[in-house]
Chains A and B, each alone.
Chain A
Amino acid sequence: MRERKGVFVTVGTTSFDKLVAAVDSEPVKAALFRRGFSHLQIQIGRGTYIPSKVSGEDGELEVDYFTFSPTIADHLTAASLVISHAGSGSIFETLRLGKPLVVVVNEDLMDNHQAELAEELADRKHLFFARGPHLLAQTIESMDLESLVPYTPGNPKNIADQIDAFFGFSSPGEGSDQKGGEGEGASVSKISKLFSFFFR
């Protein structure tokens, strides 16, 4: 009886039939089974391709699917491997949970800037990257899960502090706001008054 290790596939709010079809194909299911996974849950989003449910009784990969759920957090948490489209939301939600991730790029999208993000994170060894659904099987066969480096989440506070600094607001915990010479705000209102005089 093999250990229960689940794979979760997500396409976010998009329609990515080619990925769902690839995951539902024998080569990918066989690859996942060979790598020790026991069941597969596919979130198909707005897609129209319906995968075949498999009970897994005959010593094969169990397969189930659904369209949407209010939050996929529970599915991500329960999974031992996540296969996702290249949306930044799905990617970072998965990385924050520290789950092994394979990102598959949708080549049918115009202006595929999403691939840039997945590529960069793959270069930094935070996830595995397949340039299209047709490369998924070989990515799964060859991936070395031990080689993954955990992703350290960023902190928006750094940007918020820079914005505060621009206005002269002190960050919380510091002293009072900067005082200084006459700001450009005051000069602006003088010029504004001059202008409304001209343009009246």
Chain B
Amino acid sequence: MEPDFLTIIALIVSLLVIRVTYVLYWTGRPFKRAPTTSLRTMIVLGSGGHTAEMLSIVNVLQKDKYAPRSYVAALTDNMSLQKAQVYEESLQNHENNVDKKRGGAQFMQIYRSREVGQSYITSIGTTIVAIIHAMWIVLKLRPQVILCNGPGTCIPLCACAYLLKIIGWRWCTTIYIESIARVKKLSLSGFLLYKLPLADQFFVQWPLLQQKFPRSQYAGRVM
């Protein structure tokens, strides 16, 4: 007897539920065994203090373990990618860089879901464009780690990476560090990544936030 349409739907839904449960279970669980190669890392940059904070974190990471690195910033953000390029170039002048073997750093721009002050109606269209663009970027860069600290550009990227995780295409670990400017409340991006949950590790820089959001980690401030 051939399975009818409803049976097939039920089967797919069950598999999806099992898979989502599996992904949710493993989200946030530390790796049992360290990766044997370096991890492809995507670093999301944002205007204002975001890029400065993010680069101060990247600066103390073991560069040979988190490589090759790619940097993503919003299309309308001119300075962030420049700062990242200057930073990566300064690394080239150091001896211990593995990048020459694994491929150098990449820099990409992404459409914003919504500009400051944009009407909410047109935002629907631009958000859809941003999500499609984010998926394209994630498929192209194939990150194993995403580092972000709050700009709205990180939501479509993290959501697409998580979707790919669910369908089993690629496993990406998302690490979120809430900005130092967030003392008592999370940013919208932080709140979404914490609640859904999309992030594997969630850092806050002030103890009050850690108390309010117990699944977050407080490991001091970055500046």
Using CB atoms and an 8 Å cutoff, list the residues of chain A in contact with chain B: 13, 87-89, 92, 96, 113-114, 116-117, 119-120, 153-170, 172, 177-186, 188, 191-192, 195-196, 198-199
Contacts and interface: CB of A to CB of B under 8 A. Distances in A.
Nearest to A186: B33
Interface residues of B, number: 49
Contacts of B181: 88, 113-114, 116-117
Contact of B62 (A159, A169, A183, A192): A169
A25 to B, nearest CB: 28
Contacts of B57: 156, 159-160
A157 B221 CA distance: 9
B187 interface: yes
B132 interface: no
B87 interface: no
Given A166-B173, A191-B19, A158 B219 contact: yes
Q: Interface SS of chain A: helix, strand, loop or mixed?
A: helix
A167 B33 CA distance: 7
A116 B182 contact: yes
Contacts of B15: 195, 198
A188 B171 contact: yes
B33 A178 contact: yes
Nearest to B36: A177
Nearest to A153: B223
Contacts of A164: 62, 65
A191 B22 CA distance: 10
B219 A162 contact: yes
A116 B177 CA distance: 17
Given A156-B60, A159-B222, A183-B31, A89 B182 contact: no
7 contacts: A154-B180, A156-B60, A156-B223, A159-B219, A159-B220, A178-B33, A181-B33
A184 B182 contact: no
B33 A158 contact: no
Interface of B: 15, 19, 22, 26, 29-35, 39, 48-49, 52-53, 56-57, 59-62, 65, 167-169, 171, 173, 175, 177, 179-185, 187, 200-201, 203, 205-206, 217, 219-223
Nearest to A152: B221
Most buried by B among A88, A120, A181: A88
Given A159-B177, A195-B167, A179 B33 contact: yes
B168 A191 contact: yes
Nearest to A165: B30
Contacts of B62: 160, 164, 169, 172
B187 A113 contact: yes
A88 B168 contact: no
B201 A184 contact: no
Contacts of B56: 156
B31 A184 contact: yes
B56 to A, nearest CB: 5
A87 B220 contact: no
Given A113-B187, A120-B206, A168 B33 contact: yes
Contacts of A177: 34
Contacts of A191: 19, 22, 168
Contacts of B217: 162
Given A116-B183, A160-B60, A169-B62, A154 B220 contact: yes
Contacts of B221: 154
